[in-house]
């Protein structure tokens, strides 16, 4: 009887060990949908985007000139004057507003550690909670909730230095994180242009772009598994185009039956990222995404 009791007890312990060491639980729905805004004046205002009720994060794109003492926004003809009020409106609806740096131009780089720290200091004072004298704030007293890295060209050097410097401003605040970091890489793992930023461990969200690349359209699940395994402490978002004309477009029916069951099985699934507001306004893709994300 004693032997039988010890056997039962041992079996119970082994079962517990197996349970604790087993695969991480699936995330399931998060309800998170991110959209990029600022790529086409015909997309409407930032306020209009937030009033759709289909986005939880809006990314203003892009701050496309930096690194050589010059800084410039490219919002595709949108008047900058009204963006600050729109940011506040979005935040009043509990929608996070990020600013994206980089983009498809060639007027940005961080050629030295000093250029990286200078850029971080500039952003803190121009778009976040800083108020240094002499720094112009394009959006007035409105502030963004985080920064996105959309690095398409140039050297990967010093973006890690920049990220640490900007993140360091959070240390002066308790109970809140004024600077959240997000990265939007190409889907083929790894994306060397943002690899150093991700290696800092400071990035909380990763929007993987599963579009614009025939390989990724065919082997998206293989690349998804690589990204989720590589950054278990970050929320990984599935980046999809809203336009049917873009390589990698996923019909809503295929999104529901083919993509969602796979990605929501990952313990660090974050949600869906949609590229971009202009196309989404035309196709209303986010109306499906918000239901299933």
Q: Looking up tokens 């940005």, which residue turns up? A: 108
Tokens of 242: 């809203």
Burial 227-250 (b: 16+ CB within 10 A, else e): bbeebeebbbbbbbbbbeeeebbb
Beta bridge partners of 186: 209
- Residue 164, judged by CB atoms within 10 A of its CB (0-12, 13-18, 19+), counts as middle
DSSP per-residue codes, 61-109: EEEEEBSSS--EE--TT--GGGHHHHHHHHHHTT-EEEEEEEESSS-B-
Catalytic (active site) residue 195: no
Phi, psi of 35 (to 5 degrees): -135, 145
Tokens of 276: 């971009």
Rounded Cα gap, residues 169 and 176, in angstroms: 11
Contact assessment for residue 286 and residue 240, using Cβ atoms and an 8 Å cutoff: no
Cα→Cα distances 167→23, 164, 198, 262, 269, Å: 32, 5, 13, 33, 23
Among 152, 195, 223, 276, the active-site one is 152
Burial 79-96 (b: 16+ CB within 10 A, else e): eeeebbebbbbbbeeebb
Catalytic sites, residue numbers: 152
């Amino acid at each position: 009887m004693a032997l039988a009791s010890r056997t039962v007890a041992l079996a119970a312990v082994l079962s517990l060990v197996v349970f604790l060491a087993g695969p991480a639980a699936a995330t399931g729905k998060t309800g998170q949908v991110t959209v990029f805004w600022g790529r086409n004046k015909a997309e409407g205002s930032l306020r209009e985007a937030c009033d759709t009720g289909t986005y939880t994060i809006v990314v203003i794109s892009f701050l496309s000139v930096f690194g050589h003492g010059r800084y410039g926004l490219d919002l595709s003809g949108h008047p900058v004057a009204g963006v600050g009020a729109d940011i506040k409106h979005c935040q009043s609806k509990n929608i996070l507003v990020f600013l994206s740096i980089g983009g498809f131009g060639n007027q940005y780089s961080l050629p030295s550690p000093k250029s990286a720290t200078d850029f971080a200091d500039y952003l803190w004072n121009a778009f976040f909670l800083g108020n240094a004298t002499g720094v112009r704030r394009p959006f007035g007293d409105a502030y963004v909730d985080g920064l996105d890295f959309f690095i398409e060209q140039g050297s990967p050097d010093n973006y890690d230095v920049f990220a640490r410097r900007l993140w360091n401003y959070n240390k002066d605040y308790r109970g809140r994180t004024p600077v959240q970091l997000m990265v939007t890489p190409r889907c083929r793992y790894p994306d060397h242009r943002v690899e150093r930023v991700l290696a800092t461990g400071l990035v909380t969200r990763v929007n993987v772009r599963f579009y614009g690349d025939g390989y990724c359209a065919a082997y998206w699940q293989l690349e998804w598994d690589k990204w989720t395994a590589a950054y278990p402490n970050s929320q990984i978002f599935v980046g999809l185009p809203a336009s049917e004309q873009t390589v990698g477009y996923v019909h809503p029916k295929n999104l529901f039956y083919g993509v969602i069951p796979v990605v929501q099985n990952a313990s660090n699934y974050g949600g869906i990222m949609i590229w971009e507001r202009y196309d989404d306004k035309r196709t209303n893709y986010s109306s499906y995404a918000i239901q299933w994300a």
